[in-house]
Amino acid sequence: MEDAALCIRLSVAALILMAPVDRCAAQEAAFPRISPDRLQFYEYEVFTVNCERDAVAKWIVKTDHAASAGSSPCDAAAPSCSIDPALNKHTGGYWCENEEGQRSGAVGIAVTAGSVILEMSAHPVLQGHDVTLHCRNKKTGSQQTVDFYRNESRLETTYNKNTLSISSVSTSEEGFYSCSISGAGASPQSWLAVVNQSKADVEPRPSHPPPLHLLRLLCVVAVLLVDLLLLVMGVLVGRKHRGTVASSTKLRLPETEVCTQ
């Protein structure tokens, strides 16, 4: 039952990850940072989700598990949150969101009570780069025979080696990855995202609008410039008008003299 619930929540997290997001928001805050940098954790470990980049950042951590799991450390509308200790109920999607409702992509975190996890970076992989997956057994650090899976289909079996390397990864290799170790069990599934370097920024940099006092200053400067422009135009028009009057007076003087004689 626990495995089924875990699978459902990870599927929801993957849908969040694959769903289209605001392009500007995605460029400015691609994904939250996870520390340690991986997607799977054992129960009672500690991990941190961070959307903060500077002192005035307006991005906060959001998660999809709070409604069903009850109170969460990430419910405080803060730029970062620490899950301590991590429990199975903390499995789900995590993303960054700002005051305007723009949101970053999501990362799907899996917390398991089992002995096996699949370690890979929480950040998406850039297309054309290499990626290494490590199957970890909590009970032993020795190398073992490991089966690696993509979308529940066996991808490769490694002997006396707990890692799988994928060279020059492409978008066709996106999917749910997992691993299993004989006698120890299987890991949860985690979504491997592959992004185009020209369209995505894998380092989240939450942006923020200009400070209010700066906007006010810009408005004052704009008004002063308009007033100055109107003043200059008024002076020029006044000078032109006086010049026209003076010219008209000079032209009428000879007629006045002729009439006088």
With contact defined as beta carbons under 8 Å apart, do 179 and 146 qualify?
Answer: yes
pLDDT tens by residue, 158-187: 988 899 999 999 999 999 999 999 889 999
Percent of the chain surpassing pLDDT 70: 63
- Among residues 30, 62, 35, the alpha carbon closest in space to that of 195 is found at 30
- Among residues 29, 55, 58, the alpha carbon closest in space to that of 209 is found at 58
With contact defined as beta carbons under 8 Å apart, do 194 and 167 qualify?
Answer: no
CA distance 136 to 253: 107
Paired tokens of 115: 């002995």
Decide if pLDDT at 237 tops 80: no
Paired tokens of 31: 């994904």
φ and ψ at residue 51, rounded to 5 degrees:
-115, 5
Amino acid at 229: L
Decide if pLDDT at 191 tops 90: yes
Computed over every residue of the chain, the mean pLDDT equals 75
CA distance 57 to 50: 11
pLDDT of residue 23: 37
CA distance 244 to 250: 10
Percent of the chain surpassing pLDDT 90: 39
Q: Which residues make beta-bridge pairs with 40?
A: 110
CA distance 221 to 111: 54
DSSP designation for 138: T
Strands (E), 100-237: 107-112, 116-119, 125-126, 131-137, 146-150, 153-158, 163-166, 175-181, 185-186, 190-192, 194-195
Q: In which band, very low, low, confident or very high, does the pLDDT at 218 lie, cut at 50, 70 and 90? A: low
Please give the average per-residue pLDDT across 41-47, as a whole number. Answer: 95
- Characterize 6-17 residue by residue with b for buried, 16 or more Cβ atoms within 10 angstroms of its Cβ, and e for exposed: beebbebbbebb
Decide if pLDDT at 112 tops 60: yes
pLDDT tens by residue, 53-86: 655 557 888 888 654 545 667 777 888 889 989 9
For β-strands 125-126 and 194-195, DSSP reports them as parallel
With contact defined as beta carbons under 8 Å apart, do 135 and 160 qualify?
Answer: no
Decide if pLDDT at 211 tops 70: no
